[in-house]
Structure 1
Amino acid sequence: MAEDLENQENDKVIRIDIDEQMRSAYIDYSMSVIVSRALPDVRDGLKPVHRRVLYGMLDLGVTSSKPHKKSARIVGEVLGKYHPHGDASVYFTMVRMAQDWSLRYPMVDGQGNFGHIDGDSPAAMRYTEARFSKIAEEMLADINKDTVDFQLNFDDTLQEPTVLPAKIPNLLVNGSSGIAVGMATNMAPHNLAEVIDATINYIDNREITIEELMKFVKAPDFPTGGIIYGYTGVKEAFETGRGRVLMRAKAEIEMLKDREVIIVTEIPYQVNKAMMIERTAELVGEKKIEGISNIKDESNKDGIRIVYEIKRDANASIVLNNLFKQTALQTSFSVNNIALVKGRPQMLNLKDLIMHFVDHRHEVIVRRTKFELSEAEKRAHILEGYLIALDHLDEVIKLIRASETPEEARVGLMEKFGLSDIQARAILDMTLRRLTGLERDKIKDEYAELMKTIEYLKSILADEGLRMQIIKDELTEIRQKFGDERRTQIVHSAEDMSMEDFIEDEEVVITISHEGYIKRTPATEYRTQGRGGKGSKGSDSRNEDFIEHLLIASNHNYMLFFTETGRCFWLRVYEIPEGSRLSKGRAIQNIINIPKEEKIKAFIKVINLKDQDYLENNYIIMCTKKGTIKKTSLEAYSRPRVNGINAININEGDQLLEASLTTGSSEIVMALRSGRAIRFNEEKVRPMGRTATGVRGVTLGHDKDEVVGMIAVDDPGATVLVVSEKGYGKRTDIEDYRVTNRGGKGVKTINITEKTGALVAIKNVTDADDLMIINKSGIVIRIVVSELRVMGRATQGVRLINLKGNDEIASVARIEHEDEEIEDAESHVVVDGEPAGEGDVEEDVEEEGDEAADEETNEEEN
């Protein structure tokens, strides 16, 4: 008996290998997490919980046109029908889909407290309400047309979709993140319009390369904006599915009252603003970041605004670089494009993601068309029965009246007229009003229209090209309805020199304001106007600022910037931040790494720094305040460094004043504060190396004399304009200036008296230019050059403006002429001064003799 019991117990014990059991159980668990929880489907870009929330909301009918419904009601619907997990997981999923700083294109339209970018939690679900956003409806469009497969829910009582039809490429435009077992996904959001353009081009050309797709999808586009700094990580992510994207806050250095401040208006994606500010304050307290006196969070419903007040003795640029280095103002987004493809996790590049979306949409179109064709044929079948009955109306009525039961009538109709069971039932269900003449015509018209629809649906199923055209048309419609501008700006770092291969070499307009704000704008934004047009406003600069320089360039050109200490900095045109025609641009100091105390005195557009012939046949001429001039081959500036290179050796007490690009044969005119100017041919200055000091260009009249400007002239018909500090000025033909050797004292260019004051500016102008005259009091006045007549070289000139009190002219800028009136609201120029009136007359003086005026000295090179 005991042996029998022992044998029975042994029969219940199953001997297994513990290693094999653990391995098998862990794999089952991990695959369950991967497929059913953590990773998105490549087709609709959703994880199961997101899909169930959207489908549950559809069940409740909370579309974008219906009133909001309590979040608790929606959560209960999803929990009870499709997602038997914690209510918090469902609610916070819905909350995230409503946050415009979490999703680039939110799927839920929330009402109430749905949290904050500072990390504040949303209100409880009993307080908040929600409904679909308009774009979410496009995710579920046609779901009732057998476009996707359904599966049983957790208790096998209901059906739920395994994937959504997804008219939009949601995985690319909204991204996704999730941690599975043994793997994770982290996919960046992108701009909808860019992704759709790339998708359409992929449909047109299946052999398109990732490189070509990147011309459309330029980089991730984060909902919080900010800046992507450097392109290497973006390129790797697009090509391989894995990469590291460096994100920076959008920060500007501005003057506020008497000190510099750093203003942050956009922060990197997924950064908690409050925690970032708190951590920065800790670093300041620990002396790890120095130079910040106060941090203020001035953010409101209109947007983010964080103000870092800089100490008086600190350099704002250095402080900003330290903030980028040590705080979340600069962070990275590690792209890891893993998604489920046919139930299996795969690493996907940009082309893979687009390909799988197009394949999904193609399947949806096919299934939708088959469904619509089936429905149309069913309806046509019934209509055919109606038409048969109408053609034999009297016989049908007689047969029905003679029948004892409906079943007898149905069988009789089928036997006598060859009708199907469905047709016979439909005829028996007809109302008497359908027998009127008008209703009979409607049935015939409906049948004719239905046959056209059937023919069209069959043509769709027979022609893949037509199906692809439908996908393109639907995507184009989505782009028109929901497409918007990029929020995240792309700034290319110095390591991105190969980036020109990925950037179209289109023509752009570069504008630099008087206060040093720079931007580039596609030339297409400046519309072509006929003669007499009012022109296009070129900037929305602040009241005291204006556009001083406007250049036409292409993205592959180069810009050289020269500081007063003689250093040269180098930028590709495409590295200049892009801005709209009306935007202010960014401060140059924020783009190139120059010390706070240095100012940019000159900039030069260069077409190519790689063409050896171009480099050898062009030169850069520089002059300093103390009269030194230097000529260097452009080739010397073809190898840039991030921190700049020495362009000229500046002696103590001197500073760089001007720099110009020449071809080696220009006429150089240098003007002195004492009212004299010297003209000599550029060939008088031999080329030197970058580190040379230069040679004597002009001899100063006295110890307090200095050079106020230099022009390089190639046009023999050019005119020279000079302006004195008390408002006098004039235009003179360049031929009035006799060509001499460099190093002389020059000739009189304006008759300097106590009434005119010293010379402050010399410009090469034409009738197509305007002048901006800036007074020391801050007043800015615009003058049309064509209204100034050309007069003699040694005259006193005419009064250009009436100055008040002891005011003097600080500087003069040449700008392009506009035909519109200069008004405060339109031009943003403060016109507080007065232009010269009609009573101001030209005052001439006798020219000095050549012996005194044209005195020359030939100095040896320094």
Structure 2
Amino acid sequence: MIEQNKEILSIEDEIKKSYLDYAMSVIICRAIPDIRDGLKPVHRRVIFAMHELNNIWNKNYLKSARIVGDVIGKYHPHGDSTVYDAIVRMAQEFSMRYVLIDGQGNFGSIDGDNAAAMRYTEVRLSRITSEVLYDLEKATVNWVDNYDGTEKIPEVLPSRIPNLLINGTSGIAVGIATNIPPHNIKEVINACIAFVENNNLTLEDLMKYINGPDFPTSGIIQGKSGILEAYKTGKGSFSLRAKHIIEQNKIKENDKIIITELPYQVNKARLMKKIVELVKQKKLYGIKELRDESDKDGLRIVIEIKRYESSEMILNNLFSHTQLEVIYTINMVAVEKGKPKTFNLKQIIEAFINQRIEVIKRRTLYDLKKIKKRKHLIEGLIIAISNLNSVIEIIKSASSFKDAKNKLINIKWKKNNLFKEIFIDSYLLTENQIKAIMDLRLHRLTSLESKNFIAEHKNILKKITTLKQILSSFDHLMGLIRKELIEISEKYGDNRKTTINSLGTEINTVDLINEEKMVVTVSRLGYAKIQPISVYQSQKRGGRGKLKLVTFKNEDENDNDVIEYLLVASTNDTILLFSDKGKMYWLKVYEIPQFSRNRNVRGKLLCSLLSLDANEKITAIIAINDEKRKKNNYIFFATALGKVKRTNMNQFDRHRNCGIIALNLEERDSLIGAAITYDKDNLIMLLASNGKSIYFKENEVRAMGRSAMGVQGMRLFSNNKVISLIIIKNNKTSQQKHYILTASEKGYGKRTILEEFTLRKRGGQGVIAMRVTKRNGNLVSAIKVKESDEIILITNRGKLIRTHVKEISCRTRNANVQGVKLIRLKKEEKLVSVVRLCKNIK
């Protein structure tokens, strides 16, 4: 509290008052446009100053510095940079849908380059700006004092164009902001004409004329829902996407994404820099080269794609991570009667039409007053000419101008045939008429000139009648507004630049991918790739296989990189990847690069597709489609040390880039298998490297949380480990026989009918499924098959063989049965995996 002039003032109240005064000053005098002409004060003052200098569209250019000097000297009490920035923006074709200033020189670029200094550029008003100033001199708007009271400036401009909508605006004030997008002038005027004809039109009716925003840099608007919401409430948002084309090569080499249009106000140079940064940070993959080929003919950004990468996938990643797609937020705030307010589309159009009504009324009154004054003078001249001899005699006999005026002003002139319309019986001249008579030149006294005066008087009477009709008839007034709007549309109307995709707000990546069966492989060092299933041709059992997957020497180890995991899935399926740290990751099949079988490539490192921790390794993968993922299913886990666990799948719905915890593992343990269980009545089979198996019911393992470690499923000894997890549906009504196919590291295997395996309690040592001998080697894989299925066998040298299950002999589970040869192996070559193919996979 302070004492001043014996008054106690509250600091809180004083600060509140001062802040509100400052806020309103910023809102009204700087940042928010007037709803009538769509201009902020600085823009209005610039246009008015150029008008006062006669710096119009059909005159010579003037230096920008000259305009800035006039504006800050007479009308705008702020720095020159704010004024010049306003001039620059009104001259930029990539900022304004319809530029208000015609600039000559460097006014910046879409790359974010600054405009040249004001002393180097020249400007003049553009042609369309003449419509903003139309009838300004006819008292159509109120005039106010400038900042120092030495000049008069218009409070608002009498714009004939709906500038707020066609050029839009953006601004940030204190506690309030506005962001109105530009629109197509033809569409907006058509909506205004429709409103003039019927002011009861609904917003949906107006939307038939205005499709949506129309940006100077074109682009594609995704969906109409956000636009409709903004037009209804004054607030909304929509997705604005760059226009692009994809040049595809027949052999998927050197595909190109070509960007031809950018979203509104996106800086091209910054966009390209961002893409380069994301590629360096390994957040964007598959981009070979980025070039800017833009020239005077238009924008062109070329993005070259690496071999066998999906251009559609990369394009969607670009949309997600860069400003090739932006969210444009609409906030239609403007000032009306000195107060900021949020308007919907209809209210903005209504405000513009109301402004036109006010302007035309004031213009009509101004014209009527002026033409009545002329009528009055013409009537005096006609009286003088019709009584010419008398007027001359009076003037000749007068001693002075004053004496002549006094004599003429007191005479009642009688009606005559020359000019009956002026008065009924008699007519007294006024001082203005007498002055006009005294100023009349002698050549105007001829009979021809007399007839001209009479013709002009008749024409004036017709104009007066027309002007009075405008003021007295609302329909006549609205008809005039409609006529002027049609003239504007015909004069400045053009086609839309921005395309509107009304089908939806987002293009689903899945829709861009052709669905087909793929073989997904992951190597020991973490390289992943996909190949069409069609490239794997069937062979007889015992063949050598074809070289499908090339192995590579690991520089850090004395071992080759080999394929560890192989599964068959649709391109639209989701792969769940489980790591040795107990985490689970999500990955779409189409996100993995596709390669030809004959290409000498390993694939792409999973660490570049997933946010894996240092030294984290994928140890199990499963595929699931979206339909099954939504059901109330479980994921069943098995570890190398014999632990098992069952967790409801809804606990894995929250997808994170860094992965989520799937289970906790002991120090020496690792996850060897995970599978989706679709029923509660499943049976579980675990098989170990020593050839033993255990067979128990799934419900013996209770459902646990993600962080649980699990329970013992199989007891192991020595250095043995669990190598396979098999889920068996307990369907007693099925007529089709199922078999367990076991395969050893030396290429031997057998299939055994499922009924030979008896159910036991979990946690036991199990029974022998296949004998482990020196000839066979350790058990490396076991799967459930049907006789109609096919299998793929893969070796540590990258060889694959696809063969029919029925070609493999069916043997008993007896310990003495060692199996038959599945694949012929070379020296030091080992079988590492077996994958089942359903009979319907081609």
Name the TM tier (shorter chain).
0.5 to 0.7
Whichever of the two has the greater Rg, that structure is 2
Q: Is structure 2 residue 196 aligned with structure 1 residue 186?
A: no
1:20 corresponding residue in structure 2: 13
Among 210, 213, 227, the residue aligned to 2:206: 213
Among 247, 257, 260, the residue aligned to 1:254: 247
Among 115, 124, 141, the residue aligned to 1:131: 124
Q: CA deviation at 1:11?
A: 7.6
Among 292, 298, 322, the residue aligned to 1:327: 322
Alignment of 1:367-406 (within 5 A): 367-406=362-401
1:162 corresponding residue in structure 2: 155
CA contact (8 A) 1:253 1:261 kept: yes
Whole-Å Cα distance in 2 between the matches of residues 208 and 496 of structure 1? 31
**Unmatched 5+ stretches in structure 1:** 1-8, 498-564, 569-592, 599-640, 643-861
CA contact (8 A) 2:271 2:323 kept: yes
2:410 corresponding residue in structure 1: 415
Q: CA deviation at 1:440?
A: 1.3
Q: Is structure 2 residue 438 aligned with structure 1 residue 428?
A: yes
Whole-Å Cα distance in 2 between the matches of residues 358 and 136 of structure 1? 18
1:15 partner SS:
strand
1:299 corresponding residue in structure 2: 294
Structure 1 residue identity aligned to 2:274? R
Q: Is structure 2 residue 334 aligned with structure 1 residue 339?
A: yes
Rate the CA distance shift 1:10–1:121 in 2: closer, same or farther, 3 A. closer
Q: Is structure 2 residue 472 aligned with structure 1 residue 451?
A: no
Q: CA deviation at 1:494?
A: 3.8
2:232 partner SS:
helix
**Unmatched 5+ stretches in structure 2:** 413-427, 508-568, 573-589, 596-625, 628-841
TM-score by structure 1 length? Answer: 0.56
Rate the CA distance shift 1:596–1:391 in 2: closer, same or farther, 3 A. farther
1:62 partner SS:
coil
RMSD: 2.4
1:263 partner SS:
strand
Structure 1 residue identity aligned to 2:491? K
Q: CA deviation at 1:84?
A: 2.0
1:21 partner SS:
helix
Q: CA deviation at 1:255?
A: 3.1
Structure 2 residue identity aligned to 1:476? I
CA offsets 1:199-255 (integer angstroms, 9 cap, x no match): 111111111110111111111001100000122211111110000121000011113
Q: CA deviation at 1:493?
A: 4.3
Among 222, 225, 233, the residue aligned to 1:229: 222
Whole-Å Cα distance in 1 between the matches of residues 236 and 200 of structure 2? 24
Whole-Å Cα distance in 2 between the matches of residues 256 and 432 of structure 1? 89
Whole-Å Cα distance in 2 between the matches of residues 11 and 140 of structure 1? 49
Aligned residues: 502
Among 352, 362, 374, the residue aligned to 1:357: 352
2:546 corresponding residue in structure 1: none
Among 241, 244, 267, the residue aligned to 2:237: 244
CA contact (8 A) 1:227 1:491 kept: yes
2:200 partner SS:
coil
Q: CA deviation at 1:15?
A: 2.4
Structure 2 residue identity aligned to 1:376? I
Alignment of 1:774-789 (within 5 A): none
Whole-Å Cα distance in 1 between the matches of residues 171 and 443 of structure 2? 60
Whole-Å Cα distance in 2 between the matches of residues 449 and 490 of structure 1? 52
Whole-Å Cα distance in 2 between the matches of residues 478 and 42 of structure 1? 19
CA offsets 1:483-532 (integer angstroms, 9 cap, x no match): 111100011344699xxxxxxxxxxxxxxxxxxxxxxxxxxxxxxxxxxx
Q: CA deviation at 1:114?
A: 0.6
Structure 1 residue identity aligned to 2:432? I
Structure 2 residue identity aligned to 1:339? A
Q: CA deviation at 1:375?
A: 0.6
CA offsets 1:726-778 (integer angstroms, 9 cap, x no match): xxxxxxxxxxxxxxxxxxxxxxxxxxxxxxxxxxxxxxxxxxxxxxxxxxxxx
Q: CA deviation at 1:256?
A: 6.5
Whole-Å Cα distance in 1 between the matches of residues 136 and 157 of structure 2? 7
Whole-Å Cα distance in 2 between the matches of residues 11 and 294 of structure 1? 71
Q: CA deviation at 1:596?
A: 10
Q: Is structure 2 residue 61 aligned with structure 1 residue 61?
A: no
Q: Is structure 2 residue 488 aligned with structure 1 residue 488?
A: no
Structure 2 residue identity aligned to 1:245? F
CA contact (8 A) 1:152 1:158 kept: yes
Q: CA deviation at 1:24?
A: 0.9
1:122 corresponding residue in structure 2: 115
1:80 corresponding residue in structure 2: 73
2:304 partner SS:
strand
CA offsets 1:154-181 (integer angstroms, 9 cap, x no match): 1111110000010000000000111111
Q: CA deviation at 1:14?
A: 3.8
Rate the CA distance shift 1:496–1:199 in 2: closer, same or farther, 3 A. farther
CA contact (8 A) 2:223 2:501 kept: yes
1:219 partner SS:
coil
Rate the CA distance shift 1:448–1:597 in 2: closer, same or farther, 3 A. farther
CA contact (8 A) 2:313 2:591 kept: no
1:356 partner SS:
helix
Q: CA deviation at 1:29?
A: 1.0
Q: CA deviation at 1:313?
A: 2.2
1:111 corresponding residue in structure 2: 104
Among 474, 481, 484, the residue aligned to 1:474: 484
Whole-Å Cα distance in 1 between the matches of residues 452 and 249 of structure 2? 75
CA offsets 1:319-359 (integer angstroms, 9 cap, x no match): 00000000000001110001011111110000000000000
2:138 partner SS:
coil
CA contact (8 A) 1:317 1:595 kept: no
1:658 corresponding residue in structure 2: none
Q: CA deviation at 1:85?
A: 1.1
Whole-Å Cα distance in 1 between the matches of residues 215 and 411 of structure 2? 70
CA contact (8 A) 1:338 1:348 kept: yes
Whole-Å Cα distance in 2 between the matches of residues 31 and 84 of structure 1? 17
Whole-Å Cα distance in 1 between the matches of residues 570 and 495 of structure 2? 40
Rate the CA distance shift 1:34–1:10 in 2: closer, same or farther, 3 A. closer
Rate the CA distance shift 1:457–1:494 in 2: closer, same or farther, 3 A. closer
CA contact (8 A) 2:140 2:363 kept: yes
1:348 corresponding residue in structure 2: 343
CA contact (8 A) 1:317 1:596 kept: no
2:201 partner SS:
coil
Whole-Å Cα distance in 1 between the matches of residues 440 and 177 of structure 2? 60
Alignment of 1:822-841 (within 5 A): none
